[in-house]
Amino acid sequence: MRRIRIKSTRIFKKCVICGDKFYKPSESSWLEWNSKKFCSKKCYWTTVASQREGKKLSKETIEKIKATKIAKYGTVGFKFGTVPWNKGIKSWVKPWLGKQRLSLRKEIKSIWREYRHQVAGRLEYTNWRMAVFQRDKFTCRICGVKGVYLEADHIKRVKEFPGLIFDINNGQTLCKKCHRIKCAEEQRNKLTKML
């Protein structure tokens, strides 16, 4: 059987603003296509801007907006003299502000970079990691899950005990979720000690 090839005619419109031709994309529906008047967003926004230019909201519209804000929030805006909700609450963020934060970040960054590039890439580290996994039989010590991505975690932090980096008794196998929870708890404890 012979196939007859029909030439597809592309449908186009002219832009209302610039007069350029623009074609119907294959993925757009006919309803969507019929409502289009502009070739680009630039042309669309030029018309919107020209329509809005010099127009101000009427007093009725402003009153309606105020009424809806009062109904929704109780006030039109922030009242002068009201006390903020967090005034007097001791924040855990304070030790991380200003110069203290900068020095802490530099310290942590240098230690992490040193550990990551000099230690984690070594054969000793990969052997330690594998030994920890084999000792724990490739199961998470906290939740006992098997067959997921596992991480070898140091029980005592490397920063505080650098001599125990490759000690198998200082390692434990954790799944990604449990490791994230453990690290978050350690960070929280560290911040509370700083306060």
For 75-85, write each residue's pLDDT tens digit: 666 666 667 66
pLDDT band at 113 (very low <50, low <70, confident <90, very high): low
For 123-181, write each residue's pLDDT tens digit: 888 899 999 999 999 999 999 999 899 999 999 988 788 788 889 999 999 999 999 99
pLDDT band at 57 (very low <50, low <70, confident <90, very high): confident
Quote the Cα angle for 101-107-108, to 5°.
Answer: 90
CB distance 21 to 13 below 8 Å = yes
Is residue 16 left, alpha or beta, with left meaning phi > 0 and alpha meaning psi from -120 to 50? alpha
CB distance 71 to 176 below 8 Å = no
Which residues 6+ apart lie within 8 Å of 37 measured at CB?
A: 13, 15, 16
CB distance 64 to 34 below 8 Å = no
For 21-37, write each residue's pLDDT tens digit: 888 777 777 788 788 88
| Cα→Cα distances 142→29, 157, 192, Å | 54, 18, 24
Domain limits, the chain = 12-52, 94-194
- DSSP codes joined into one string, the chain: -PPPPPPPPPPEEE-TTT--EEEPPTTS-HHHHHH---SSHHHHHHHHHHHHTT----HHHHHHHHHHHHHHHSSSSPPTTPPPTTTTPPPTTGGGSHHHHHHHHHHHHHHHHHIIIIITTSHHHHHHHHHHHHHTTTB-TTT--BSS-EEEEESS-TTT-GGGTT-GGGEEEEEHHHHHHHHHHHHHHHHHHH-
